[in-house]
Amino acid sequence: MSRDNILHRVRTAIGRSAGQEPEAPPPPLLKIPEVSMDRRIELFSAALEKLSGQAHIAGSQEEAHRVVASLIEGKSAVASNAPYLRECSVTSLPGVFTGYTDGAELREACAQSDVGLTSADYILADTGSLVMLASPEEARLVSLLPPVHIAVVPRERILTGLDELFTLLPNPAERTSSMVLITGSSRTADIEQILIKGVHGPRMVHAVIV
């Protein structure tokens, strides 16, 4: 059966003729459930902990500072240039290095550090995901290269899920060269289904919700 004959049958079956312009696609069906902020925090914490991550709830920026200090005690850390980290005085903690603008210097710092400190543009309650938009303030290496990733995020950035994210950010490419959704620690499994953590990124993810 010829290609033209096959296509003719397909067009006939769907009621179209040759050369007919297709109809405009339907609008996306985005559903944003009504979920209180306290419930969003509960859902996010539960989802992250199922992925072997850990959520910490801080009642203030000062408390977030103390939480991060306890998590990085005795370790070296590299921090992104996110303004929120400075607001929480995280960048002034002992052992934290920040302010990198040169790519090679940042890469070397991330390779040598035990912990990467970032904020996050959004977090998704239903999957426990961190949404990271690459920018000079939030370089991707900081969340990907050190073996431990700690994200400090204000609670107002918690979204219900992907539908709400794409309502706020329908075309991420207009804002960033890269949008990464980090859902728990890096993990992979070979053909024998042996789970290995930390192959393509951090072995541990902490989220400090302020």
40-80 residue pLDDT tens: 999 999 999 998 899 999 999 999 999 999 999 999 999 99
The average confidence (pLDDT) of the chain is 91
Q: Which residues contact 65 (CB under 8 A, 6 or more apart)?
A: 88, 89, 90, 93
What local confidence, expressed as pLDDT, does residue 1 receive?
Answer: 63
Among 160, 167, 82, 84, smallest CA distance to 128 is for 160
Q: Residues 8-29: pLDDT tens digits?
A: 888 888 888 878 887 888 887 8
pLDDT at residue 15 in the model: 84
Report the alpha-carbon distance of residue 56 to residue 35 in Å, rounded: 20
Which of 2.160.20.10, 3.40.50.300, 3.40.50.10420, 3.65.10.10 would CATH assign to domain 36-209? 3.40.50.10420
Q: Whole-prediction pTM value? A: 0.84
Domain ranges of the chain: 36-209
Nearest partner of 160 among 129, 120, 118, judged by Cα:
129
The per-residue pLDDT for range 186-195, each reduced to its tens digit, is 777 766 777 6
